[in-house]
Each structure stands twice: as C-alpha cells, then as structure tokens.
A and B are shown apart, each in its own frame.
Chain A
C-alpha cells in the first residue's frame, strides 16, 4: 500500500484505548508471540521498555550507566533533550512525521553514559493490541562517547488484529568512539501498515550496525533510514533480511552519507519473495575523499506472482573513493534442490533449507548472542513454500 493510499483518518488514536496495568494482562497467545521475538523473562537484559498501544507497561533499567525512560517523561525531565528532538528526522518530512509531531503517543528514550559498555542488551517492544489504531511513537537513543549498546526491538501486534498503523520516529546519536548495535526483529500482521522514519548520526570512530528482520506477513512497510557518518573512521552497516508474502509491499531503503575521511559503510539486503512487491533500495553518498562503501541487494524469487526491485545508487563528489555495488535477483537453482533431495529431504524441506541459507547473513561486529537469536528466528519462521 502506497503512502498516499494510507488515510490517517481511518485510524483511531491509540490514546483512546484503556491502558494495561502490566504485562500479566497479556494473553498466553500474545506472550508466546512476543517470546518468538526475544521477549523472554529468562533472557538477560540490561534494561527493558514495553509499550502497548499508547502506554508503557514496563520500563526499567537493571544496570549502572543506562537510562531508559518513556520519551514523554524524558522530554519533561531533561530540557537538553530538545537539542536531540526532530534534529535527524524532520517533522515536516511527510504526513506520518507530521502526525507524530502533532499527537505523540509515546516511545522510548535510552541513553548510555560515557564509556559504559553494556554487556547485556536492552530490549524494547512496541506492541499494538487494539484494532484500527495508529500507534505514533518517537524514540531517541544516545550512546555517549566510548559507550556501547546492543538494542533489540521486537515490534508486533495482537495475533487477531485486522488493521492498524505503526509510525515510529527514531533518532539515534552515536558519539565519538561509541557503538550502537540495533537489531529489529518484527512480527506484524497481514493488515498492518508500518512507517518507520529514522535518522542516525555517527561521530568520529563510532559504529552503527542496524539489522532489520521481518519474516512474517505484513500489509506494507516503507522506510528509508538516513545515516550521517560525520567523523573520521565512523562506520555504519545496514542489513535487512526480508520475507515478502502475497498482498504485501515492503519497500526498504537506506541512505548513508559518508561525510568524513576514512568512513566506511555497507548496505546488505536479502529478500525472499513469495509474492507481493519487494523493493530494496540503497544509496551511498561520498561527501568526502578516502571513503569506502559497498551495497549488496540479493533477491530470491519463489513465485511468478511477485515483484522484486533492486535499486542501488552510488553518488560521489570526490575522485578518491571506493564505492561498489552488486545486485542479483533469481530463482533457486534446481541442482541445489536435487542435491538436498538426494540426501533425503523433500522438495519443500530442501527449499526451506536453501531459503534459510540465503537469508543467513554473517554480520560483522554482531555479538554471538544476537547472531544466534537471528538464526533462531529464521528457524521459527518456517520458511519454505
């Protein structure tokens, strides 16, 4: 569904929904669903934030050097936070950003204090539980100088919701020598439209690694995060792992501005198309000399009733740069299927294993914990025909 086709008037305000007291009011079915995405009470976490519709139901930090707050509260508490609000994403960008600017539901504020390298991840969850609402959130994450944060977001909806809209504004600040690993594992629904609007700023020697995984049906996702690498040796990686189902449109881009010497980036997308429309965009802009960027879009078509578009773009304003891209769209090789069938796998099992392999991306800098979490999600997604 295109941005124009989404009429915001068709969605109720999330604020009109009666808030839950805490997560114990979620049904077992909902808890199971969230567990698949990583929301597990047994998992070790440095902090947590769970928001249902418009209201936070859990917000806590378990370690020193970390601040986790609902954004509405943080904006009241910290005047200085205004310096970070709507600075990387313009409130005037489109009707979705305007809607959030006019009527913010909530969102999370996370800050890691200087030189605190958090061992355990911080888990957030933005959950839609009520039919036909628009959930409008604004998130700000600041990783101060020399600090490190693994942030996992598990966004989802109630399993029986027919229609809803999620708009998420995210502004991420990675200060000098800091590292932010941002892993999104999402499970939307067949009638859900999702419009994230994200801006990232990485200072000298900072690292930003973003992994976006959506392996379950969704009506539409359209997003194109913009990342500015403004300091020498700053790095950014965008990885997206997508399964695109019939009647679904997933348009995921990424725009990285290399604005200082020795900055480096990589955009990798892997899409499996069972149907619907998948667009993998990537844009790297060299605004300084001595920069490197690589863009890789790979699509696997499993149906004649789907559309896959790979749109890579490289712009350079300097001669001393190294920008490369590769894009490939194709089907599963029959010889690979037959090879596995000779080992006793049915055609469906063979295809599923090949698809999982295709979607397995070795993510440099990702902790073994997160890598195994992603691998587990691939297992649970039951990919195949």
Chain B
C-alpha cells in the first residue's frame, strides 16, 4: 500500500487557539477518505493545514506527501507537487477572469481548458470575473474545473455539496468522480481524495473507502463511511462521544 499522504502527531493552532490535537492519518494512493464532524470541529483546519496556509500554525507533528516532508513548504510548492484544494467559500478577485487562473494553474500541457469547460457546460464562465456573482452550484463547478485543470494527485474537498441544489449535486458528483478517477472503475487509480462532508449527500455519488469523525480537533473514530454516516444520522455526534470506539494508531 503506497502512502500518498501521511500525517503524524499533528497539533495546529489558529490565532493562538489550539484547533487540532494529535492528528495522525494515512491516505493510500488511489483511495478516497471522508471526514465527518460538527461545525467548528477542526475539519477545515485539517485541510487548510495540509495545503499549507500560514494562518494554520503547526506546533508539533509532520506532514509527508509522496514520502517527502512538506511540513514547511508554502502552498504553491505543495500545489506544484500535486495537492489541490476546493474552497468552501472562494474569494472574488476583481478583474481576474476564471480563464486567467486556469491558464496559470495548468500543470500538464495536454489539458485543453476550453474542451474541459465545454464538457461541464461552463465555457460561458471562462471570461467572467472569478467567483463574482456565481451561485452556490456555479462556485463549486468553478472550483472543480480549476482542480480538473490543475489535475492534482491529492484532492482536498471542503464540503463540496454545501449551497448546491439537488440537480447540481449530481453534476458536481460527476466532476468529482472524474477528478478521483472513479469514472474508470477497472483501472488502478493514482488519485486520492480527502473530503469533508456535513450532510453526507456526496456519499451517494462517491464511493469512499474510509470515514473519520473529528470532534474537538481530534479523530474520534474511523471505519466504513456509510456506517459512520448512518450512525451520525441516527444518534448525532453526541452518539459518537458515547461510542468510545476511539480510533488510535
């Protein structure tokens, strides 16, 4: 089992407040893992820390990507090495067109931006200011299109279904499948995903390999993502606290 991402004993502070405590996990090549957790549990902090944003300060622990210690690398170096993130609330950048960003973030010349945009019905957005006036679904499509162009090996998705209507969730599910190579089931995959979900809807479209519950900055349990999600639906996150099947390496 080749490890694409390995996190060891990670402690993270945001503006002086301890948010993640002793997180360790392994994401093998080709697998997709899902993170469940209440608002404020530390899910987004984990993804942002993996991407390397400076406000998320690592107090202890290491992050390895493809065997390399990337703990001290800035976000663009991580992006160049093959990590990509879908933002939950991406900013509007005045005057910068979606196409400008797509051209800048392309990692492989074989990717044809126009063709890809056309395939996902997004070609009319290429000359629009990025994220300006985009609906919830359009924001997600824009983010996923950027990731498809960037073509990362590790895809970090922060609540891909939030603010998206039922019709568009299906479409977004299709884009995520493409990103994670889940639209080609019989080939060995070399893309991995770490997905935060609040509602669990995305599980209907993405067959995830493993699920985690994060509570108060700690990983509480891991297991079959569908079973975990059904448990959360039935007993809530309070049920997770009582479960006591806490996960540890």
Q: Is B93 part of the binding interface, using a Cβ–Cβ cutoff of 8 Å?
A: yes
Does B94 belong to the interface (CB within 8 Å)? yes
User: Main SS of the interface on chain B?
Assistant: mixed
Please tell me if B169 contacts chain A, counting CB pairs below 8 Å. Answer: no
Q: How far is the CA of A339 from the CA of B75 in the complex (A)?
A: 9
* A339 in contact with B90 given A345-B104, A353-B96, A359-B95 (CB within 8 Å): yes
Query: Is A360 engaged at the interface, CB distance under 8 Å to the other chain?
Result: yes
Q: B74's closest neighbor in chain A, by CB?
A: A341
**Shortest distance from the beta carbon of A218 to any chain B beta carbon, whole Å:** 23
The complex places the Cα of A340 from the Cα of B79 at a distance, in Å, of: 10
Q: How far is the CB of B241 from chain A (nearest CB, A)?
A: 33
Complexed CA–CA distance, A343 and B80 (Å): 8
Check: A342 CB closer than 8 A to any chain B CB: yes
- Most interface-central of B51, B100, B104 (chain A CB within 10 A): B104
A30 at interface by CB-CB < 8 Å? no
Q: What class of interface size applies to chain A in its complex with B?
A: 20 to 34
B84 neighbours in A (Cβ, 8 Å): 342-343
Say whether A344 faces chain B, with CB atoms less than 8 Å apart: yes
- Asked if B235 CB lies within 8 Å of chain A CBs, one says no
Q: Determine which of B75, B80, B90, B104 lies in contact with A353 in the assembled complex, contact meaning CB atoms within 8 Å.
A: B104
Partner of A343, one of B54, B91, B97, B105: B105
Which residues on A sit within 8 Å (CB–CB) of B220? Answer: none
B166 CB, nearest partner CB in chain A, Å: 28
B140 CB, min distance to chain A CBs, angstroms = 15
Roughly how many angstroms separate A342 CA and B104 CA in the complex, as a whole number?
A: 11
Q: Return chain B residues, CB-CB under 8 Å to A333.
A: 91
- The answer to whether B91 and A356 have CB atoms under 8 Å apart is no
Find A344's partner among B80, B93, B94, B129 (CB 8 Å cutoff).
Answer: B80
Among A343-384, those with CB < 8 Å from B are: 343-347, 349-350, 353-354, 356-361
Checking A342, A349, A358, A360 against B75 with a beta-carbon cut-off of 8 angstroms, the contacting residue is A342
Bound complex: CA A343 to CA B84 (Å): 7
**Are the C-beta atoms of A346 and B96 separated by less than 8 Å?**
no
Chain B, Cβ-Cβ closest to A355? B95
A259 at interface (Cβ–Cβ under 8 A)? no
Residue B215 at the A interface, CB < 8 A?
no
CA distance A339 to B96 in the complex (A): 12
Q: Are B51 and A342 in contact (CB under 8 A)?
A: yes
Tell me whether B116 is interfacial, beta carbon within 8 Å. no
B32 at the interface (CB under 8 A from A): no
Asked whether B104 lies within 8 Å of A343 as measured between CB atoms, the reply is yes
Expressed in whole angstroms, the Cα–Cα distance for A345 and B75 within the complex equals 9
Closest to B100 in A: A353
- Are A343 and B95 in contact, CB atoms less than 8 angstroms apart? no
Chain B 204-228 against A: per-residue CB contact (8 Å), 1 yes, 0 no?
0000000000000000000000000
Give the contacts of B151-197 with A (CB-CB under 8 A). none
Interface centre among B87, B94, B107 (most CB of A within 10 A): B94
Q: Is the CB of A336 within 8 A of B95?
A: no
| A200 CB → nearest B CB, Å | 27
Chain B residue with Cβ nearest A335 = B91
- Interface presence of A338 (CB below 8 A): yes
- For chain B, residues 36 to 86, give those with C-beta under 8 angstroms from any C-beta of chain A: 51, 53-54, 74-76, 79-80, 84-85
* A→B interface (CB under 8 Å): 333, 335-336, 338-347, 349-350, 353-354, 356-361
Show 9 residue pairs from A and B whose CB-CB distance is below 8 angstroms, ordered by the A residue: A333-B91, A335-B91, A340-B101, A341-B75, A342-B51, A343-B84, A347-B74, A357-B97, A357-B129
